[in-house]
Amino acid sequence: MSQLQPLDASPPAHFAARRHGDLRLTVTRFGSTVLTAGRAGEVLNVVRSARPTEPHVLILHARGKGGDPDRAQPSPHPTDFVLTDDLDAALPVSGDHIVVASMPRARVTTHLLAPMTPLAPTALVRASRALLSTLVRDLDEPDEPTARAAEDLVIGAVRAVIAEHPETSPPSSRRAPLALRLAALIDARHTDPDLDVDQIARELYASRRQLYRHASSSGVAGMLTERRVCTAQELLDREPDLSIAEIAHRAGFTNPARMRVQFVRTHGVTPAAYRDSIHAVGRRRPSS
């Protein structure tokens, strides 16, 4: 069995699919979106083994016995779900074949999501099921523009499904105190380099003065910077092959120099020196 990349690993610019022995487990990646299809247990193991550095949202479609994606059998139980990336709870999935799409939550919603929401068999849900099944089955080594278009289709479909099912976002998350909504928005969207205090105020329908009354002692901009530095540190720890420029981009900084200043301010060393010290310790550690 070939080695699977975690969901936050640097993806290739184009689609890639792998089949694992007789299990016919297919892992498909384009951009930040990952599709996984196959037997339910194997797919969920792959999804659970991923360790994304930012919150992810998943949409799951179950198939009838035999796994034919075009012949889903009617079921008295839910066969379609929106999930968060915490999959510790058991899923009441019928059938032995599922397809799951996973993508950063910031790409589809700024709201907190319920851990698991069954979906009604609406036209949008059926369209999402058909789209994911077709991409897994038929899309074979597309060029970069085609791969990006496919990712846009998947993200658009998931956005539409979530918008159609307001129960995916608990009412408490919409009525939550501004401090909680502020922290949740920064957590979900900090990797977007265009996110700033003014944009946060617009999305939360609050004034800058209101935001700062509910922010931590470091202020709104400080909260955003702290979260980006934290993500940069996680990437430095776990992705030694990424360039400093790529880490800065993926952590939400507009350029590596800005990340360097904030990282030194927080940790007392540059990002490059921090990574060298961490991985030097790992290389010196004797093997067991």
User: Where exactly are the structural domains of the chain?
Assistant: 16-168, 176-284
Q: Is the confidence at residue 253, as pLDDT, over 90?
A: yes
Judge whether residue 272 has pLDDT over 90.
Answer: yes
In degrees rounded to 5, what are phi and psi of residue 22?
A: -80, -10
Q: What is the pLDDT of residue 254?
A: 93
In tens, the pLDDT along 96-142 reads: 789 999 988 877 876 778 888 899 999 999 999 999 999 988 887 77
What are the two backbone dihedrals, phi and then psi, of residue 145, each rounded to the nearest 5 degrees?
A: -60, -40
Average pLDDT, the chain: 79
The pTM assigned to this predicted structure is 0.56
Q: What CATH architecture applies to the domain 176-284?
A: Orthogonal Bundle (1.10)
Asked whether residue 229 carries a pLDDT value surpassing 90, the answer given is: yes
Dist CA 165 CA 78 (whole Å):
14
Better pLDDT: 205 or 273 = 273
pLDDT in the model for residue 283: 53
Query: pLDDT category, 189, cuts 50, 70, 90?
Result: confident
Q: Which H or E run contains 258? A: helix 256-267
Query: In this predicted model, what pLDDT tens digit does every residue of 8-30 receive, in sequence order?
Result: 333 333 334 444 443 478 888 88
Selected residue with higher pLDDT from 149 and 53: 149
Distance of alpha carbon 247 from alpha carbon 239, whole angstroms: 9
Q: What is the mean pLDDT of residues 163-184?
A: 76
